[in-house]
Amino acid sequence: MSNHKAAYAVLADTLTAQGIDIEAVKATLKRQQIETPSWGYANSGTRFKAFPWAGAATTTRQKLDDGAMVHKMTGIAPSVAVHIPWDKPEDNDYVAMCQYAEDQGIRIGAVNPNVFQDEAYRLGSLGNPDSGAQEQALDHLLECCEIMTKVKSNALSLWFADGTNYAGQDSLRARKQRFEQHLSTVYKHLPAGGRMLLEYKFFEPAFYSTDIPDWGTAYAWCLKLGEQAQVLVDLGHHAQGVNIEQIVAFLLDEGRLGGFHFNNRKYADDDLIVGTTNPYELFLIYNELADGEQSSDAALRTTAENVAYMIDQSHNIEGKMEAMIYSVVNCQEAYAKALLTPRAKLADAQAEGDVLGAHRLLSDTFRIDVRPLLAQVREEMGAPVDPVAAYRASGYEEKVRNARGKSATSGGYQ
């Protein structure tokens, strides 16, 4: 019996004795899906420097190849988000790009428009006081709605850098009204079954005011837009000390939690590998999500089951592929622990006002070593037991280094 099998047998016996259906947990873990970002496979950097990495992807097909490799190593990353125009095909054939992804055993995920890098967007996109800049941004967003159909995507993922740097620079109410008007137009052009995922960010690159500064603003606009508009939570887009799991619980209960951009931060929007700085926070977030999935409330359960789990990270000084695999594995571990939370006992302790008893149940669950469980799940799925070790042994890194070399271009962030 291998080491992981022996450890799994002990863990399974322990959990079964606690009344946990280990087979049901495994079945749920096998359904888990994490979307990786095309731009995460390319060179990226900060305002100071982008350090080129040998083998980093520079074309969309290379990014899709890398995404397929991550899926092969983990078994739960079947889609890759694209960023337009970074991922615009040279021949403008999005149908062919979609087919290429499917030929690699994956699919195209969320479509992310870029309305922050053109010179016209110096004062914003949809919030810009110049009507020409507004129209340019709106045209691009509508183009991305059309692209969604061509690549079989069901999610338009929106993030805006709009805001102001100085008091009095622009009318804050006017900027709000411009956004509401144009977002309404975009919403009406969503393809059938498509969702608008609206992201927020409390600062940067605008430093006095940000046009979508918090989850409350995004939530209010989604209510005005319609049922297919939902809030996207980026873990890096919050001030220090913000209780993200409480935001998740609120949006779940309101039926407006649409998705996540998983990353980690120490100070602000650092875009570090998810789970590396505060793994307990990641577990607590997943605990709220798992609680929603297991709820007897059908509406809540439907919302939780349709949350889009996406990674949004900038791998600046480390390799791209191994970092992405590590990210997916960290999400697996957090979710596995959340599924082991003794919910009936926790509910009883909460109802009885047993403050520390309830806290201990949750913190003890976080301390469970779920790696043997995940190794068993991966083995049953036909994926490598240790994804990172398998990637290192695969020769893929050396292969792409030799084939692609080191490029100064990013294929994404400049």
pLDDT tens-digit readout, 190-248 = 999 999 999 999 999 999 999 999 999 999 999 999 999 999 999 999 999 999 999 99
Distance CA 382, CA 139 (A): 44
pLDDT at 413: 46
Sequence-ordered alpha helix ranges (H) in 152-278? 172-188, 215-225, 244-253
Please answer whether residues 91 and 137 qualify as being in contact, where contact means their C-beta atoms are separated by less than 8 angstroms.
no
Helix, coil or strand: residue 138: helix
Please answer whether residues 37 and 271 qualify as being in contact, where contact means their C-beta atoms are separated by less than 8 angstroms.
no
pLDDT at 318: 92
Cα→Cα distances 241→201, 207, 210, 266, Å:
15, 19, 19, 11
Distance CA 170, CA 123 (A): 9
- Sign of the CA dihedral with 15 first, then 21, 27, and 31 last: negative
Residues in the chain where the model's pLDDT stays below 70: 1-2, 408-414
Domains, the chain: 32-340 (3.20.20.150)
Residue 41: closest CA among 392, 412, 414: 412
